[in-house]
């Protein structure tokens, strides 16, 4: 009888574990990794997930088995028999979770030290956050961009600051996440491993425009990266710009961007997203006022 109960409980646990394992494995919870740091973070994620699945299976097995096996018949209104503690069981259910949590802490600390360490010769980029935009500048050059442009397989250390409230920098494919805090500098190291364009997301509720506080991280091959950098240094066009690099500051550009938003697109942006009806909806005076407001309010930034 006892043996049969154990087999039934193991079966229930195996079914519950298999069900959550399917949910964990087959649903793409995170996009494909695109940085070196992401590899060790994903390994840690799976370690924690497997521990959780094991604990869940155990708890589900005992709970479901007990509810099913010891349920009261419909006409039974008596109290259950009193149960006293079980010292051995209590020691086990305290010691095992304590050991697991300690193991998770140790493995997490090892991964954290590894991903926070900037390798010698890392590139540097200063990241400035403000409601509701990101700006990336490249120390030692005059280059400031609205997009984070990186070279593939080269480690870069980002130094983050904020001009107003707390923001948080996150590129899901890189996995690394770091707060940008006013009055202090924080750091994060990223070694992109795949050429492509990824979304930079603010993950700290920072005000009304928080959900639109997005930019792109563009990872280029070595030749393309050098080409981009030298083009930026020579003050060339808004490639990768979309921000404060010279061109975006004159009134004619701002006016064109409002009435004909697809006229000039920064790389990574799709045409046809912004409405093209403002030219018809607004009078010339209203457009002038809007352009003046936008120029005045972005002065110095």
DSSP-derived secondary structure letter, 33:
P
> Toward Cu ion, which CB reaches closer, 123 or 163?
163
- Contact map string, positions 92 to 131, toward Cu ion, x by CB under 5 A: ----------------------------------------
What are the residues whose beta carbons fall under 8 Å from the beta carbon of 176, sequence distance 6 or more? Answer: 35, 37, 38, 41, 115, 170, 188, 189, 190
Nearest to Cu ion of 147, 232 (CB atom): 147
> Which C-beta is closer to Cu ion: that of 176 or that of 206?
206
User: Which residues, 6 or more positions from 245, have their beta carbon under 8 angstroms from its beta carbon?
Assistant: 143, 144, 145, 146, 232, 235, 238
Q: Which is nearer to Cu ion, 138 or 169 (CB)?
A: 169
Q: Is the dihedral of CA 163, 166, 171, 176 positive or negative?
A: positive
Cβ closest to Cu ion, residue 9 vs residue 202: 202
Beta strands in 131-233 (DSSP E): 133-137, 144-145, 148-151, 156-162, 167-170, 177-180, 186-190, 196-202, 214-220
Closest CA to 260 of 247, 248, 275: 275
Residues 6+ apart with CB under 8 A from 57: 13, 14, 16, 17, 20
Applying CB under 5 A, what is the total number of residues that bind Cu ion? 5
Using the contact rule CB under 5 A, the part of the chain among 17-25, 203-211, 229-237, 269-277 near Cu ion is: 203-211
**C-beta of residue 258 within 8 angstroms of C-beta of residue 171:** no
| Continuous H helices in the chain | 2-26, 36-69, 87-116, 222-233, 251-259, 278-281, 284-297
Distance CA 48, CA 27 (A): 17
Task: Figure out which of the listed residues 12, 202, 219, 220 binds Cu ion, where binding follows CB under 5 A.
Answer: 202
Applying CB under 5 A, the span of 34-42, 64-72, 87-95, 209-217 interacting with Cu ion comes to 209-217
Complex with Cu ion: residue 155 or 160, whichever CB lies closer: 160
Nearest distance from residue 183's CB to Cu ion, in Å?
Answer: 17
Give the closest residue to 70 by CA, choosing from 85, 88, 57, 83.
83
CB of 212 to Cu ion, least distance (A): 9
**Position among 210, 237, 253, 298 found at the interface with Cu ion (CB under 5 A):** 210
Q: In the complex, what is the shortest distance from the CB of residue 132 to Cu ion, in angstroms, rounded to a whole number? A: 7
Tokens of 92: 């086990």
**Among 41, 61, 155, 213, which residue interacts with Cu ion (rule: CB under 5 A)?**
213
The nearest distance, CB 130 to Cu ion, in angstroms, is 10
Which residues are CB-neighbours of 14 under 8 A, at least 6 positions away? 57
Tell me whether residue 13 or residue 146 sits nearer to Cu ion (CB atom).
146
Closest approach, Cβ 222 to Cu ion, in A, equals: 33
Taking residues 156 to 175 in sequence order and writing x for each that binds Cu ion by CB under 5 A, - otherwise, the string is: -----------x--------
Closest CB to Cu ion among 174 and 225?
A: 174
Q: Among 188, 206, 229, 266, indicate the residue that binds Cu ion (CB under 5 A).
A: 206
Q: How far is the CB of 206 from Cu ion (least distance, A)?
A: 3
CA distance 223 to 183: 37
Cβ 29 to Cu ion, closest distance in Å? 22
Contact residues toward Cu ion (CB under 5 A) are: 167, 202, 206, 210, 213
């Amino acid at each position: 009888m006892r043996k049969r109960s154990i087999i039934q409980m193991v079966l229930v646990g195996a079914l519950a574990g298999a069900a959550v394992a399917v949910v964990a494995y087959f649903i793409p919870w995170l996009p494909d990794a695109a940085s070196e740091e992401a590899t060790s973070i994903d390994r840690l994620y799976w370690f924690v997930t497997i521990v959780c699945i094991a604990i869940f299976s155990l708890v589900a097995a005992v709970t479901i088995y007990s509810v099913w096996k010891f349920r009261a018949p419909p006409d039974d209104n008596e109290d259950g028999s009193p149960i006293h503690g079980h010292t051995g069981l209590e020691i086990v259910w305290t010691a095992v979770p304590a050991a697991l949590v300690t193991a998770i802490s140790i493995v997490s600390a090892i991964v954290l030290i590894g991903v926070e360490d900037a390798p010698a010769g890392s590139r540097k980029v200063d990241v400035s956050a403000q409601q509701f935009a990101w700006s990336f500048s490249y120390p030692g050059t005059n280059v400031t961009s609205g997009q984070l442009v990186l070279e593939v397989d080269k480690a870069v250390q980002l130094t983050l600051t904020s001009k107003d409230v707390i923001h948080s920098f996150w590129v899901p494919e890189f996995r690394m996440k770091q707060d940008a805090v006013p009055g202090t500098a924080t750091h994060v190291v990223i070694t992109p491993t795949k050429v492509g364009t990824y979304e930079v997301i603010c993950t700290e509720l920072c005000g009304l425009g928080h959900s639109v506080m997005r930019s792109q991280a563009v990872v280029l091959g070595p030749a393309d990266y050098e080409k981009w950098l030298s083009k930026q240094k020579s003050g060339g066009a808004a490639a990768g710009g979309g921000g404060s690099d010279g061109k975006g500051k004159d009134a004619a550009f701002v006016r064109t961007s409002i009435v004909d938003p697809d006229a000039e697109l920064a790389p990574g942006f799709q045409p046809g997203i912004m409405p093209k009806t403002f030219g018809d909806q607004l009078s010339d005076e209203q457009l002038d006022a809007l352009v003046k407001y936008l120029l005045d309010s972005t002065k110095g930034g």
